[in-house]
Amino acid sequence: STYRNLENGSFTPTGNQLDMALNGGGYFIVQAPGGIRYTRAGNFQINNEGALVTAEGYPVLDQNEQPIFLPDDTREVTVGSAGNLKVNGQELA
């Protein structure tokens, strides 16, 4: 059988500003080969096209279900408590 575990895992700083964690409910939205999927795994990276992707290479989507692309000059990535993604101090998604 399958079940959903919505408990928070441990929050461990990784030093990677693209690693994100969810505190409480919610999911990250990704575009997988079979369609849109929801995940709580937040170990992200940037692919060679500048898109924010999962460890499997699936694009992370914004609230409009569009891929998130980080600018070439990205120096700092932060996430607010509401899930708003900021790049270099400017809201991106």
pTM, two decimal places: 0.86
Greatest C-alpha distance within the chain: 46
Residue 42: exposure state from Cβ atoms within 10 A (0-12, 13-18, ≥19): middle
Judged by average pLDDT, the poorest of 4-8, 13-17, 53-57 is 4-8
| pLDDT, tens digit (0-9, with 9 covering 90-100), for 33-86 | 999 999 989 999 999 999 999 999 999 999 999 999 999 999 999 888 788 899
Please check whether residue 21 is in contact with residue 42, taking contact to mean a CB–CB distance below 8 angstroms.
yes
Please check whether residue 68 is in contact with residue 85, taking contact to mean a CB–CB distance below 8 angstroms.
yes
Residue 23 has pLDDT above 90, yes or no: no
Residue 24 has pLDDT above 90, yes or no: no
Residue 33, pLDDT score: 95
